[in-house]
Structure 1
Amino acid sequence: MTPKQFVHAVEHALIPLADEAKAQGMKAYLLNQFEFLGLAAPVRRAAVKAIGKVKWQSSADLLAAAELLWQKPEREYRYTAVDLLRQQSAQLNVKDLPALQALLLRDAWWETVDGLSAVIAEVMHAAVQQKPNAAVTMDVWLKHPSHWVRRSAMLHQLGWRLDTDTTRLFGYATQLADEKEFFIRKAIGWALRDYARWNSQTVTEFLVQHRARLSGLTVREAAKHLTLP
């Protein structure tokens, strides 16, 4: 199956299920910025489950399919692309990060950014296991003009558990601490909270030490399951 055939199959599966009333609600939830078919995630995923099992011969084909889905106006196609990339993230490597960043930046909002950030986290985790200095790519992303790319860099270790590079985690949090952007402040707290599940003491110590500099939102997010002195 070619990328174009794959996208046609996805359209054939999703369009008959479109629900205009639900689409309007979903559109309103994202501040009327984007179009929707009106499909809840379980419905959408069930509809394309069989199609999504296709195995791509190369990362280029996989990314081409994602790119074609991204060109569709309705957000459900992008969510399908994110699911596809996550399911087959083992085919991707650091050389594919520019393509993922390009998708991330197009009509960016938190839901597609966070979906792609989960893909990027898996790609980066595999990469640093083989070549630790692969993480310097995220150092570059942290200085990107777009706060969405910076958010993705802050979130790139989500789910790494005890493999987390704490120097980068706390270093990134410190570098971004003065930002006023809501989605950056939220991301710092999310990243810290995720790591706190595995090392609560270290995160607590960081929050206490830097509480005066971190935003209230960041501290609240990070400390949801902690008791700060």
Structure 2
Amino acid sequence: MTADDIDPKGTAAELRAALSEGADPVRAEQQRAYLHSDLRHLGVGVPDMRRSVTRTRRALGARPAPYVLALARELWSAPEPAGPPVYEYRWAAVELLVQYARTLDATHLPDVEAVLRECRTWALVDPLAVHCAGVIALRDPAAGTVLDRWATDTDVWLRRAALLALLPGIRTGRPDPGRLTRYADALVDEREFFICKALGWVLRETSVRDPEFVVAWVERHGTRVAPLTRKEALRRLPPGPSGPPDRPERPVAP
């Protein structure tokens, strides 16, 4: 049997079985409570999840985008005889898209968007936005028009994804200051926690290489900037007129 003969349905079933073997009911309840999730949780840990998906990817080898997307859909929409979908199966779909991100281009972002609209949690949105959509955007300029649409969408998770998709460019020294300015200006009045946090996160990462950009943006918008956004944006900058307070603060996750 060649790689081209491998059925995504069978591969998805094998991966689901492998994940189910790592179920931990205690951790499952902790995860569900932490994420305020209404999905069914198996309690698979991060290392085990990544190992399982990586093992599947290595067994499959290089695969064309249609196969990757079909496999991700099988995992994401895995039927359950009763009850809600399984979080880990959806998490595996996201991890698969992340690991195969370089196989995808801007024409595949509608498929990514369809998943983003159903994520409903930062734990699935963030890796998909940063390590899949962001990787695509860095390689394919045509992705920009899709991100622009996401940035003004009524879905809070798509707006967050548009912001976070800028991170790979920022981190590799290939930022898009024009797009960041447009998004930040458009979202400055938002008070939704997940948008304020994401905007502050992106600005904080920008401040590593371009602190002047961040300080100028914060000062230009003044009190319109949400306190959370301001705090996160200036966290890595020295104290100053727009800088963080003099007291040290423990780092927090984005």
Largest Rg, 1 or 2: 2
What's 1:15 paired with?
A: 20
One of 67, 72, 79 as aligned partner of 1:66: 72
RMSD: 1.5
Which whole-Å deviations, capped at 9, do the CAs of 1:103-157 have from their partners, x for residues lacking one?
A: 11114211111121021000011002xxxx6412211111111111111111111
Equivalent position of 2:144 in the other structure: 135
Query: What amino acid does structure 2 have at the position aligned with 1:141?
Result: W
Q: 2:203 aligns with which of 189, 192, 195?
A: 192
Equivalences for residues 1-229 of structure 1 within 5 A: 1-53=6-58, 54-72=60-78, 73-118=85-130, 119-128=132-141, 134-161=143-170, 162-227=173-238, 228-229=240-241
**Is contact 1:70–1:77 with CA below 8 Å preserved after alignment?**
yes
* Residue 244 (structure 2) aligns with: none
The answer to whether the Cα contact below 8 Å between 2:24 and 2:43 also exists between their aligned partners in 1 is yes
Which string of whole-angstrom CA distances, capped at 9 and with x for unpartnered residues, describes residues 150-198 of structure 1? 1111111102133111011122111011112111111110111111112
2:146 counterpart letter in structure 1: T
2:82 aligns with none
- Normalised by the length of structure 2, the TM-score is 0.83
Does the aligned pair in 2 maintain the 1:196–1:203 contact within 8 Å? yes
| Structure 1 segments of 4+ aligned residues over 6 angstroms from their partners | none
What displacement does 1:217 show? 0.5
Distance (Å, rounded) in 2 between the aligned partners of 1:64 and 1:48: 15
Measured in 2, the distance between the counterparts of 1:93 and 1:190 equals 25
- Is the Cα–Cα contact under 8 Å of residues 119 and 125 in structure 2 kept in the other structure? no
Amino acid at match of 2:224: R
Matches of 1:194 and 1:113, distance apart in 2: 18
Q: Distance in 1 between matches of 2:34 and 2:143?
A: 37
C-alpha contact 1:211 1:219 (8 A) present in aligned 2: no
Q: Secondary structure at the match of 1:115?
A: helix
CA distance in 1, matches of 2:114, 2:223: 35
**Letter in structure 2 aligned against 1:139:** D
| Aligned length in residues | 225
Q: TM-score, normalised by structure 1?
A: 0.92
The 1:26/1:213 distance shift into structure 2, 3 A limit, reads: same
Tell whether the 8 Å contact from 1:154 to 1:169 is kept in structure 2 after alignment. yes
* Worse overlay, 116-125 or 50-59: 50-59
CA distance in 2 between counterparts of 1:152 and 1:107 reads 11
CA distance in 2: counterparts of 1:8 and 1:17, whole angstroms: 15
Q: Distance in 2 between matches of 1:222 and 1:5?
A: 46
Structure 1 match to 2:247: none
SS in structure 2 of the partner of residue 164 of structure 1: coil
